[in-house]
Amino acid sequence: MNCIKSSILLTLWMAFLFSACHTGHSDAEPDGRDSLYTAGYIQHIAFDEPCRALALLDTAETKRLLTPFEISDLRSMVYHNGLSHYKAAYTHARKAYQDPEARKHPEKFLSLVALMAEQCHNNGNYTGSVEYCTEGLNLAKELGDHTTEANLHVTWGLNLLEMEQYDEAFRHIGLAIRILDGEVRHNPCFRTWDDLFYALGMKLNLLWEKDRYGEALALRPSLEEALQGIETSEDTPAGIADMRRAEIDVSYCCIAYTTGNRTEGDSLYRRVEANPYASTPDGEYVRIPCLILAKRYDEALQYIRREKELLQETTDTMNWDYINPHLQAELEAWQGKGDWQSALRVQSTMLALTDTLRKRERKEDALELAEIYQTNEKDKEIERQADSLQRHYILFGLLIPVLILLVLYIRHILKTNRMVSQKNEAMVKTIDELMAYQDELFKRQEENIRLREELRQWQEAQAAATITTEVPEETQEEPECNAPDKTETEETAAQMPKLTDKDRILYERMHHEILKNRLYLNPKFSKKDLMKEFHIPANKFAWLFKEFAGCGFTQYIQERRLDYAVRLMREKPQWTLDAIAKEAQMSNGAFYNYFFKKYGMKPSDYRENGSANPLW
């Protein structure tokens, strides 16, 4: 009896699964775009062509046609609905769940959480499934998505059944039914009525499995009402109402036979026979549980044989569904008929097929784990590449302004160097002209001094010829009158003396004497020597240089040494700057500082720019 119940339960589950696939399939129509790499199109082919859907996702991921969240979400859906690889499906769903983009789209995120709850249930992780149900219920209430809220309650109830918490499980399924009942009152359509029918059918099968027949029979009016809503909805797909009617009649027919109400069972079976769906190749299998419970074994075996032929022609029978309910129903029929040899043959087939499937599952689990590992490695590689690319972008973003600044800096340096070079060239020319002017001035001064000396000698000769031998007394006393007294000298020292043309001539004579004899190169030469030679008082000596040279005596000597050093750089290009500074009686530091201060360029720049110019 338990085997028959399992067969009926699985039969109804297959019907509900077909319903879910059908409605889900209709929601995933392609969006009309030419490209195959769209979420709508891939979801559309996920059930019928899962391998092609995965290939399209691989290409879309490589070409970055979809976001990482969409890639992971769609892969999870394909593995779940198309291949029933729930471990791989959960791995990809978990990746989508952890993507920051997931929570930006609450509706998609809710659908993902509901799918993950179902995947955990299928993988035997009932605690994890309940956790996702809790999260999904909170989000569904926020969004007002009552259908998903009800489906999560159903999933929660299935988890509790596996954990043998039956009362709490039925409470959650009852909550789902109440939510969906309110939804059909608010929005009556095929989808809402079919969701309610699904929840009621789930409760019916669970009640029958737990031998709670009275509660199962009490649920019939609600199922009839849901079926009537499906039949009257304008958007109900063709043939769905007949299939749902067959599901109700088969369930209550089996309950009637199980409880010993054969009359009711025969009546319901006649309704099943009259149902167009039960006469189709895909629908004939729903008769088998009723015939076995009615002990009409020959008829049951006839439909089992036709069903096996159809399955062998259209599908791969190497699966668990072929063992139960198909081979299981055949085994029950042969056992009921008393043909133990045939029953043993079927049982041997079931055992061999079970062994083969377990080996295949172990292999598939290994391949699935390997695929998960490869996927994780691929994700890590993609993440490393993304991080590397991001670092490159950041580095490139930083390098661009740096390069721009560097180009501007180089441009500024080149412009500055060009300006400095032009300035140095102009300064070299100016210095050369200045040296030439000084040489010319020296020659003119020397000529003036010579002429002035000749004039003085001629005047003295003329004066000597006219002077009498007797000198007047006043004339003899004249030096004493012209001699400055001590009081006048002190007053003059306190203020700048009034300089005359004679003083300028006196300065020119000193200047000529210094240049002619290069006194500035004599380390023992001092201003006292000049004052003594030209009979100049100390206070007047300083003012002569300040007035006519524009500087003090010490600076004047340094400038003459600098002029001499400039001439040496032109006349002795093979000499080093240190040698030139030493020859000009200047230290290296003083030579560099005086040169740069006076001409605004370094001695080395002058030599470099002046090497191409001819001497003065």
User: Looking at residue 319, what is its pLDDT?
Assistant: 72
Contact 369, 86 (CB under 8 A): no
User: Looking at residue 398, what is its pLDDT?
Assistant: 83
Q: Is 293 exposed, middle or buried (0-12, 13-18, 19+ CB in 10 A)?
A: buried
Q: Indicate the SS3 state at residue 600.
A: coil
Name the H helices within 63-98.
Answer: 68-77, 86-98
Q: Indicate the SS3 state at residue 483.
A: coil
**Amino acid identity for residue 118 in this structure:** E
Contact 579, 391 (CB under 8 A): no
Contact 116, 90 (CB under 8 A): yes
User: If you ran DSSP here, which 8-state letter would residue 34 be given?
Assistant: S
The Cα–Cα gap between 310 and 496 comes to 135
User: Looking at residue 324, what is its pLDDT?
Assistant: 79
CB contact set of 584 (below 8 Å; sequence gap of 6+): 521, 561, 562, 564, 565, 568, 591
Question: Cα–Cα distances in Å, from 545 out to 339, 465, 530?
Answer: 146, 38, 12
Q: Where are the domains of the chain?
A: 339-421
The Cα–Cα gap between 199 and 153 comes to 10
User: Looking at residue 471, what is its pLDDT?
Assistant: 44
Give pLDDT < 70 ranges for the chain: 1-35, 364-365, 368-369, 371-372, 375, 379, 424, 442, 445, 453, 456, 467-497, 610-616
The Cα–Cα gap between 91 and 77 comes to 11
Q: Give tens-digit pLDDT for 578-605.
A: 999 999 889 989 889 989 888 888 888 8
The residue count of the chain comes to 616
CB contact set of 135 (below 8 Å; sequence gap of 6+): 113
Contact 159, 129 (CB under 8 A): yes
pTM above 0.75, yes or no: no
- DSSP annotation string for 213-225: HHHHHHTHHHHHH
The Cα–Cα gap between 137 and 148 comes to 8
Question: Cα–Cα distances in Å, from 462 out to 371, 456, 544?
Answer: 130, 10, 32
The Cα–Cα gap between 453 and 458 comes to 9
121-147 burial string, b = 16+ CB within 10 Å, else e?
Answer: bbeebbebbbebbebbbebbeeeebbb
Residue 430: both structure tokens together: 């100016």
Query: What's the alpha-carbon Rg for the chain, to the nearest Å?
Result: 58
Q: Give tens-digit pLDDT for 19-42.
A: 444 444 344 444 444 467 888 899
User: Looking at residue 19, what is its pLDDT?
Assistant: 46
User: In the chain, count of helices (H) and strands (E)?
Assistant: 29, 0
Contact 339, 317 (CB under 8 A): no
Nearest to 158, CA basis, from 112, 198, 211, 217: 198
Nearest to 513, CA basis, from 451, 574, 449, 573: 449
CB contact set of 262 (below 8 Å; sequence gap of 6+): 256, 294
